[in-house]
């Protein structure tokens, strides 16, 4: 870009509120071609709202947007796309029954002479140009999460988007897919695309960003060149306003009675799964997504019946346990899908709190909603939920603050067994630290099954680690077992190292 030329995008004085919640406060920001600008901030800082305004999904209450120096107003996402701005959201918007090529060209007029083979060839050429490996003829329903993300990116590139916004793009990716994405981003910037990268993963920001803007409570509080940042610790301090190192102190807790026993569990892509979990321990389940974690969790939480094998929860059979309606002192489930399964977006925090605690706030036929409101108000302060407004709708909260609400609700139930599925996915570094401390405290009175795609999280929290591949438990071992830990990458790829013996024996009952 010539010296003195205007930035590709300039945001000036952008403000946006949702009811009483002010998401953005007088934000000004420049976005330039050929650069990756990372947006950092705690959950609820306003990052996703700001970029949704740029992508035409929301309209600002005040402020304006300039594209190449010219003021524009977007009535919707189509206007933004026509201006060359596109956003890859965390939740993909694809038609599963269609092919990759059909999804890329969906909604565009291609003329009757455009055959499927012609469209596939165009997608193949586009994918090769930006280093996005994909089969244009494949059905979307058959793709991995990383491949689906590539389809979303190709949709924008085919529309000749000059500004591409990525909202937590690596949350659903394997390490290999993350590296492939970063390679593609660099290729895009070499072709003068402007990239906005929203992430909580500081190591990724330092690896891919050219510039960093930090938001706090809806305002830009810092802007700097990535090359001037010396460490993740420095970046975390700038973001949170205090030192955050994710270094936690794990005190040993006595392992007491068995709270979960799984033996020979098979069916629904599970293959002879065996393990036990005791009160006082965290068992981490790790592996690339799609290797049986989801059907395992759904079976243990009562969403699907075990087809073969046995599951005993708190000393009872699966059938007997889920025949009861016990709201406290039993099982709490923290789902990965915090927006669809864990909460209802159009209900306020009080009603969302009551989704699983209602029986604790009834007297006869009467629901004591005032008492529930006082309790969730207190929990909102204890768990740092922002804003601490119990009348706010769940959909008005950021993903991280919504997760804090789910954790507050489920820990309030005083569970003896906790199944936590990706509990820190999409959370900022300060919130991750809080959740880790909560899970460690919870194991004093409960057994915790931690299902996570973050190996560092599993190593930090787990007493034992179980590696899953293709529906099987490949091995179970303590994080302190260096030789076996060194083989974890092979185990996650389904390779049983020759030096590794049989899976670690489970503790006797």
Strands 282-286, 447-451: pairing is parallel
Same domain, 223 and 282: no
| Residue 25 domain-assigned (yes or no) | yes
Q: Residue 337 falls within a domain, yes or no? A: no
Q: Based on the number of CB atoms within 10 Å of its own CB, is 67 exposed (0-12), middle (13-18) or buried (19 or more)?
A: buried
Task: State pLDDT tens for residues 167-222.
Answer: 888 876 767 788 889 999 999 999 999 999 998 888 889 999 999 999 988 999 99
Domain boundary among 192, 215, 240: 240
Are both 228 and 288 inside the same structural domain?
A: no
Q: Are residues 307 and 181 in the same domain?
A: no
Shared domain for 290 and 171, answered yes or no, is no
Domain boundary among 175, 207, 240: 240
Q: Is residue 108 in a domain?
A: yes
Coil, strand, or helix at residue 332?
A: strand
What's the DSSP call for residue 393?
A: B
pLDDT in tens, 431-455: 788 888 889 989 999 999 999 988 8
Statement to judge: residues 223 and 302 lie in one domain: no
CA distances to 92, 234, 358, 370, 371 from 366, in Å: 42, 52, 11, 11, 12
Do residues 44 and 110 both lie within one domain?
yes
76 and 113 belong to one structural domain: yes
Q: What three-state secondary structure class fits 352? A: helix
- Same-domain status, 175 and 113: yes
Over range 61-83, report the average pLDDT: 94
Boundary of a domain, candidates 209, 240, 271 = 240
pLDDT of 284 above 60 = yes
Residue 104 has pLDDT above 70, yes or no: yes
Q: What is the SS3 assignment for 494?
A: coil
pLDDT (tens digit, 9 = 90+) per residue, 130-166?
A: 989 899 999 998 887 778 899 999 999 999 999 999 9
Q: CATH number, domain at 507?
A: 3.40.50.300
**In the chain, how many domains are there?**
2
Domain identity same for 57 and 119: yes
Are 98 and 215 in a shared domain?
Answer: yes
- Whether the pLDDT of residue 501 is over 60: the answer is no
Query: pLDDT at residue 507 above 70?
Result: no
Residue 304 lies in a domain: yes
Range of the structural domain that residue 221 is part of: 9-240
Domain-embedded: residue 28 = yes
74: in domain: yes
pLDDT of 110 higher than 60 = no
Q: pLDDT of 237-269, one tens digit each? A: 888 776 665 567 778 889 999 999 999 999 998
How far apart CA 160 and CA 213 sit, in angstroms, is 26
Q: Please report whether residue 248 resides in a domain.
A: no
Do residue 46 and residue 112 come from a single domain?
yes
| Phi-psi label, residue 174: left if phi above 0, alpha if psi -120 to 50, beta otherwise | beta
Model confidence over 340-378: pLDDT tens digits? Answer: 789 999 999 999 999 999 999 999 899 999 999 999 999
**Which pLDDT does position 506 carry in this prediction?**
42
Note whether 147 and 88 are same-domain residues: yes
Q: Confirm whether 318 is domain-assigned.
A: yes
């Amino acid at each position: 870009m010539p010296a003195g030329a205007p930035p590709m995008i300039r945001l000036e004085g952008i403000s946006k509120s949702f009811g009483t919640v002010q998401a953005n406060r007088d934000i000004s920001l420049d976005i330039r071609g050929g650069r990756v600008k990372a947006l950092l901030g705690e959950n609820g800082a306003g990052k996703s709202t700001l970029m949704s305004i740029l992508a035409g999904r929301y309209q600002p209450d005040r402020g304006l947007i300039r594209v190449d120096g010219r003021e524009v107003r977007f009535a919707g996402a189509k206007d933004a796309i026509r201006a060359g701005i596109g956003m890859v959201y965390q939740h993909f918007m694809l038609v599963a029954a269609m092919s990759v090529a059909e999804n890329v060209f969906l909604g565009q007029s291609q003329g009757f002479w455009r055959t499927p083979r012609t469209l596939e060839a165009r997608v193949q050429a586009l994918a090769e140009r930006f280093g996005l490996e994909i089969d244009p003829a494949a059905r979307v329903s058959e793709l991995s999460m990383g491949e689906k993300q590539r389809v979303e990116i190709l949709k924008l590139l085919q529309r000749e988007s000059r500004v591409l916004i990525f909202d937590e793009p690596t949350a659903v990716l394997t390490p290999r897919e993350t590296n492939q994405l970063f390679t593609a981003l660099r290729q895009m910037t070499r072709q003068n695309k402007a990239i906005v990268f929203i992430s909580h993963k500081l190591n990724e920001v330092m690896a891919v960003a050219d510039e960093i803007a930090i938001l706090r409570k809806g305002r830009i509080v810092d802007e700097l060149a990535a090359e001037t940042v010396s460490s993740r610790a420095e970046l975390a301090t700038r973001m949170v306003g205090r030192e955050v190192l994710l270094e936690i102190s794990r005190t040993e807790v006595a392992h007491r009675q068995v709270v979960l026993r799984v033996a020979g569990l098979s069916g629904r892509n599970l293959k002879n799964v065996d393990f036990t979990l005791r009160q006082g321990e965290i068992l981490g389940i790790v592996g690339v997504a799609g290797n049986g974690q989801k059907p395992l969790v759904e079976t243990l939480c009562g969403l699907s019946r075990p087809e073969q094998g046995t599951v005993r929860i708190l000393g009872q059979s699966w059938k007997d346990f889920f025949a009861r309606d016990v709201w406290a002192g039993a099982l709490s489930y923290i789902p990965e899908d915090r927006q669809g399964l864990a909460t209802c977006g159009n209900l306020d925090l009080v009603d969302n709190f009551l989704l699983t605690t209602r029986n604790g706030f009834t007297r006869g036929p009467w629901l004591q909603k005032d008492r529930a409101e006082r309790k969730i108000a207190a929990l909102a302060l204890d768990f740092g939920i922002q804003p601490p407004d119990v009348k706010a709708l769940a959909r008005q909260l950021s993903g991280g603050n919504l997760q804090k609400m789910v954790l507050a609700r489920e820990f309030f139930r005083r569970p003896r067994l906790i199944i936590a599925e990706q509990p820190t996915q999409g959370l900022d570094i300060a919130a991750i630290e809080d959740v880790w401390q909560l899970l460690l405290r919870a194991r004093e009175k409960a057994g915790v099954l931690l299902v996570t795609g973050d190996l560092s999280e599993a190593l930090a929290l787990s007493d034992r680690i179980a590696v899953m591949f293709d529906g099987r438990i490949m091995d179970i071992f303590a994080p302190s077992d260096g030789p076996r830990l060194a083989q974890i990458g092979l185990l996650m790829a389904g390779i049983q190292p020759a030096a590794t013996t049989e899976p670690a024996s489970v503790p006797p009952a």
